[in-house]
Amino acid sequence: MPYTALDYWNLVLLLILVATALAMYFIKDLLHAVIVFGAYSVTMALVWLQMNSPDLAITEAAAGIGMTVLMMAVIFRTTRREE
């Protein structure tokens, strides 16, 4: 049974999800972690679209963008202290 381009696309999306999830865990800088979270959210929205769930994809994209912007605003409004 030959694989189709759709199978490879799903595999790429899955690998991106795993890579971004691991990156969020290991990244120490909060701003970089928030940017990776945004990438995770966009990738997850693409996965929902791939599974023919456009309503969930739109919700994921909106919530992901909203949370990313909110977390960035919090990071920029707080100060960092050296210990």
pLDDT tens across 16-35, in order?
999 999 999 999 999 999 99
Query: In whole angstroms, what is the distance from residue 64 CA to residue 75 CA?
Result: 16
User: Which residue type is seen at 62?
Assistant: A
Span 54-81, average pLDDT: 92
Looking at every residue in the chain, the average pLDDT score rounds to 92
Q: Are 25 and 40 in contact (CB under 8 A)?
A: no
Confidence class for position 1, pLDDT limits 50, 70, 90: confident
- Tokens 């595999």 belong to 11
User: Terminal CA-to-CA distance of the chain, rounded, Å?
Assistant: 59
Percent of the chain's residues with pLDDT above 70: 95
Percent of the chain's residues with pLDDT above 90: 83
Q: Are 41 and 65 in contact (CB under 8 A)?
A: yes
Whether 56 shows a pLDDT value over 90: the answer reads: yes
What's the token pair of residue 29?
């800088």
